[in-house]
Structure 1
């Protein structure tokens, strides 16, 4: 197996501390940024707006629009040119970060991210997942430049919706299972890939050991070390897996199943990480690793992660199964990095097998 291996290890600067956002003006001044576009979410922005620091520079605030699409990035890039912005700040979750990074790449501007959630590693990684206007995942684009700065205030994330942290745990747990499916085929691991493997295993171990305590911190609105560890696992460690492993460590079966499920309009109501968590179980079925599924089920049940289509409020027809399976088997999908020969028929068999395995 010979795949691309370019290291994109980290943002240029990354800081996690209470009241980290208050240093934003300092970081902008260091970068000579004086006229910024601030792209933000909707509900998250209403929640964190009182915490956004007062800046003495020119600011232009815009709601991101709900999705990361080619058109949205083009529109925002044009706005950057027309308004002569010299920097972009993203305040929100994964899709906000992805759209801001995509816009920054098109406009060739520095990008600063202030995450309001720990639901994905989007704040850390130099790539964006692109959707079409119907919310169907199209592709992901990798950029040749890292994010300039990530500022994480754990107090902000502590007060975010707990279900989004749970979804982030589901998304990040996939790092170990997807990386393992790829790396198990290699006789020799380059040093870069060894770093990715280490990060993926740490994702698995920390989440299984500390997620319950981290979620208790969110319920109690009081930070503990487990909460910090899980936040950094979902953002930093998860980003390191693909950052150091590139195509050897980014995604395999679980994310391909997620991507494929976006062809079902009813799936758009479900969080990204929940669909990835379900995809982990489908991938393990494909690998015939039912004992691993059994070992994961108690953890899934504790966190209320989905173990079946019914848990995702989905009821698939035969044509739905076929559409998902064919999309999962598209030539560009990373499910083909697994050692098994993947066909639509196999995916349908394993998805139906998972339903029987987890609901009997």
Structure 2
């Protein structure tokens, strides 16, 4: 029996279908919300406004706050100031992953309920009670804030989501694929075999992997044509909802091992990596973790899928391999500092972590 497992399943209320956003007032009534702050971005907000009929509901007073584009401590402080000034009793975040991360963290710090209306399917941020923190410059803080508060609701409409950039959806598929590759070896260890929540986390990660590897091409093609099909709905739901169950059920044993640690290290120490989306960097990170585990045959098996979706396979391919090896050494030191990396059932050393970078570059180029 594990004494350190923290299960945080997901939002209190979830709906994802055509017309789902019309149900937002029901949840606001459940939470006795009256004075509501809408946190939004720029481009996504212009697209989303037409779907938010509840903004005309005179039972509520709505205030609006445009975030800076980063999930930062500065951004959370700005939201807190607005909440205090306008006596807000509920926050709704409308936008992508960084925005919902910011809203979740801000709500945690000021002890207020919140809901999210995602405008794209690029990661599981709308589902999970954690926030990946950045500086306003876009540099990673190298820190993820975990909290116990979950969203009061996660509600969105596939007609809104399908009108988002396709590259974000593809990055989301890659980010979700990592759920299985980061957790499987950990969960297969004998001392974790008889833990029911870990078993469910494993089943869920397998569901994600199978759906993505089998149906991505069709879902992406449908999205490019703006056709809300069963395949698109299914995979977008896998990305921003079901994927969050993996870490929610499995906690540290099924969340963010070497693939995500590599993402954070790249974001922290390679400024040029900021041009790539979160999921694209995680896609490279999957190959990096497999190199650490010396599972070269899995890399071979994934290569056709990566080529089909145009996902990065090496730092050289991305054009960001550091010329200064001390940068790599800092990245490795950072990766080695992450507890979850050491849950991988191989002896993790800084030498192995560094050597795996060079071996992967050689193997994929």
Are residues 1:193 and 2:198 paired? yes
1:253 Cα deviation from its structure 2 partner: 1.0
SS at match of 2:190: coil
Are residues 1:290 and 2:296 paired? yes
CA displacement 1:125-150 (0-9 Å, x = unmatched): 11111223442233222222221000
Are residues 1:311 and 2:314 paired? no
Q: Do the aligned partners of 2:257 and 2:340 also contact (CA within 8 Å) in 1?
A: yes
1:39 Cα deviation from its structure 2 partner: 0.8
1:7 Cα deviation from its structure 2 partner: 1.2
Identify which of 135, 141, 166 aligns with 1:137. Answer: 141
Cα 1:164–1:3 shift into 2, 3 Å: farther
Distance in 1 (CA, whole Å) between partners of 2:279 and 2:160 is: 20
Identify which of 72, 76, 83 aligns with 1:73. Answer: 76
Q: Do the aligned partners of 2:92 and 2:115 also contact (CA within 8 Å) in 1?
A: yes
CA displacement 1:194-241 (0-9 Å, x = unmatched): 110110000100000111111011011111111111111112221100
Distance in 2 (CA, whole Å) between partners of 1:324 and 1:3 is: 31
Task: Map 1:344-355 onto structure 2 (within 5 A).
Answer: 344-355=350-361
Q: Do the aligned partners of 1:3 and 1:248 also contact (CA within 8 Å) in 2?
A: no
1:243 Cα deviation from its structure 2 partner: 0.7
CA displacement 1:68-107 (0-9 Å, x = unmatched): 1222212211221221001000001111001001111112
1:3 Cα deviation from its structure 2 partner: 6.9
Cα 1:208–1:310 shift into 2, 3 Å: same
Identify which of 165, 169, 175 aligns with 2:169. Answer: 165
Please give the TM-score of this superposition, normalised by the length of structure 1. Answer: 0.95
Are residues 1:177 and 2:149 paired? no
SS at match of 1:315: coil
2:255 aligns to what?
Answer: 250
Task: Map 1:1-360 onto structure 2 (within 5 A).
Answer: 4-53=4-53, 54-55=55-56, 56=58, 57-134=60-137, 135-187=139-191, 188-263=193-268, 264-317=270-323, 318-330=325-337, 332-359=338-365
Distance in 2 (CA, whole Å) between partners of 1:141 and 1:87 is: 21
Structure 2: segments with no counterpart, 5+ residues: none
Distance in 2 (CA, whole Å) between partners of 1:61 and 1:195 is: 39
Question: How many residues end up aligned between the 2 structures?
Answer: 358
Structure 1: segments with no counterpart, 5+ residues: none
Q: Do the aligned partners of 2:142 and 2:265 also contact (CA within 8 Å) in 1?
A: no
1:6 Cα deviation from its structure 2 partner: 1.5
1:301 Cα deviation from its structure 2 partner: 0.5
SS at match of 2:121: coil
Q: Do the aligned partners of 1:128 and 1:140 also contact (CA within 8 Å) in 2?
A: yes
SS at match of 1:262: helix
Q: Do the aligned partners of 1:3 and 1:247 also contact (CA within 8 Å) in 2?
A: no
- Report the aligned-residue RMSD: 1.6
Larger mean Cα displacement after TM superposition, 21-30 or 90-99: 21-30
